[in-house]
């Protein structure tokens, strides 16, 4: 729905009127490409991990959408409580949608986009990018729902073109984990006689022993390390959903990380990044892509299929091994020495919903043993000993 010239619109979250001189109510000027909403103050942009370009960022040159985009991002941050990384992912999805409309010659004005246009984009994602999962397409549609929902809420549109479009069905898959032998090979691969090997071993140890998301690993700072002199505790701040958590590293992982911290303190690196690049004089923070490549490199060096090696697989291994560790029994009385239940694993992973954690617990040895029919039942059936 286009805004007719001379018509009034509501202010963001308001009643459509602004106070003029003499306390008289005057209509808000109509919104258009030539009269977009004012951009958010520059001081607010510090809430995001990086500024989002008015020229379209990763999505292409859609210059007029910049103020709309920034006002929406401000709304997500202040009213919805979303964190910077999640806001940026939403913004990139919306910008990519607008850029696709421009490339295909369709109407790319956010104020007049219709539901058939959104449906055409969803079809394009399916047919033109066949390797895109349903969950990814559902996430992109969720970003559009948020954006157009805000346009309606703020009075810039009367209708939401995403209403009535079903979200792609997400079929959850079973997580994968590393075997004990695979872990042994990967963790023994770095050459610890060199600084790079010491850094890589510490990074791999943290990946396995703390189970962070790869983005959380890259955001770790030296100030997030709590060294008690025995074990080391790591504070993961601003994770998914803005949640914080603290994880304890046992002796082997603590020692590997402590060896790297000694080298890290001697590097003239800017900032407080815990894991930095060693190939650059500035020693910048490692990236998500660099960590993925590092893991695949060591996997390939020990004869593992690098296509089956990825950082989230290490997170799943952490979750299952943590749950399995709660099955320890006292050799004298047979009682449980260390109890680890579903909620403990959920807390360690930083999940909001225990149903998400169940997928990891389901592949643990401890759980799989529970799901096996005992031999005594077969003895009852057949009368034979097994």
Secondary element (H or E) of residue 265: helix 251-265
**pLDDT given at position 82:** 83
**pLDDT given at position 23:** 36
Helix-helix angle 195-210:251-265, to 10 degrees: 140
Compute the residue count for the chain: 386
Q: Are 96 and 58 in contact (CB under 8 A)?
A: yes
**pLDDT given at position 239:** 79
Report all structural domains of the chain as residue ranges with CATH numbers, in order of start: 33-153 (no CATH), 180-369 (1.10.443.10)
String of DSSP letters for 129-162? -TT--HHHHHHHHHHHHHHHHHHHHTTS-S--TT
| Nearest Cα to Cα of residue 325 among 219, 217, 215, 211 | 211
**pLDDT given at position 337:** 66
β-strands 232-236, 225-227: how paired?
antiparallel
Cross-strand pairs, 225? 234
Show the tokens assigned to 82: 């979303």
Backbone angles phi, psi at 2, to 5 degrees: -80, 150
**pLDDT given at position 55:** 35
**pLDDT given at position 336:** 63
Mean pLDDT by 10 residues, the chain (386 residues): 37 36 39 43 39 37 60 89 82 91 88 92 88 88 94 93 91 87 94 95 96 93 92 90 89 95 89 89 89 93 87 93 80 71 91 90 88 86 80
**pLDDT given at position 330:** 67
pTM: 0.70
**pLDDT given at position 379:** 84
């Amino acid at each position: 729905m286009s805004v007719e010239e001379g018509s009034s619109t509501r202010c963001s979250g308001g009643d459509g009127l602004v106070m003029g001189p003499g306390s008289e109510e005057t209509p808000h000027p109509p919104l258009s490409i030539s009269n977009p909403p004012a951009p958010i103050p520059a001081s607010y942009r510090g809430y995001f991990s990086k500024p989002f370009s008015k020229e379209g960022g990763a999505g292409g040159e859609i210059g007029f959408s910049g103020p709309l985009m920034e006002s929406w991002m401000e709304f997500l941050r202040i009213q919805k409580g979303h964190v910077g990384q999640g806001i940026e992912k939403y913004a990139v999805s919306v910008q990519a949608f607008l850029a696709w409309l421009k490339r295909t010659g369709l109407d790319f004005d956010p104020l007049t986009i219709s539901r058939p246009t959104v449906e055409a984009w969803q079809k394009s994602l399916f047919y033109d990018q066949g390797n895109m999962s349903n969950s990814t397409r559902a996430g992109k549609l969720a970003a559009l729902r948020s954006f157009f929902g805000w346009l309606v809420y703020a009075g810039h549109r009367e209708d939401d073109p995403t209403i009535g479009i079903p979200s792609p069905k997400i079929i959850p898959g079973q997580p994968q984990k590393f075997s004990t032998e695979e872990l042994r090979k990967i963790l023994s691969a770095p050459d610890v006689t060199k600084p790079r090997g010491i850094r890589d071993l510490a990074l791999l140890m943290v990946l396995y022993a703390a189970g962070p998301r790869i983005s959380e690993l890259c955001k770790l700072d030296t100030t997030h390390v709590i060294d008690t002199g025995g074990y080391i505790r790591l504070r993961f701040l601003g994770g998914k959903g803005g949640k914080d958590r603290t994880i304890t590293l046992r002796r082997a992982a603590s020692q590997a990380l402590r060896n790297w911290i000694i080298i890290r303190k001697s590097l003239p690196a800017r900032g407080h990044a815990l894991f930095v690049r060693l190939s650059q004089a500035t020693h910048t923070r490692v990236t998500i892509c660099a960590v993925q490549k590092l893991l695949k490199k060591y996997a390939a060096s020990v004869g593992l299929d690098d296509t089956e090696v990825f950082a989230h697989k290490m997170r799943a291994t952490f979750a299952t091994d943590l749950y399995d560790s709660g099955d320890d029994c006292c050799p004298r009385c047979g009682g449980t020495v260390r109890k680890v239940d579903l909620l403990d694993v959920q807390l360690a992973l930083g999940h909001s919903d225990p149903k998400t954690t169940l997928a990891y617990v389901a592949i643990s040895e401890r759980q799989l043993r529970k799901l096996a029919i005992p031999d005594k039942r077969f003895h009852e059936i057949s009368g034979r000993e097994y």
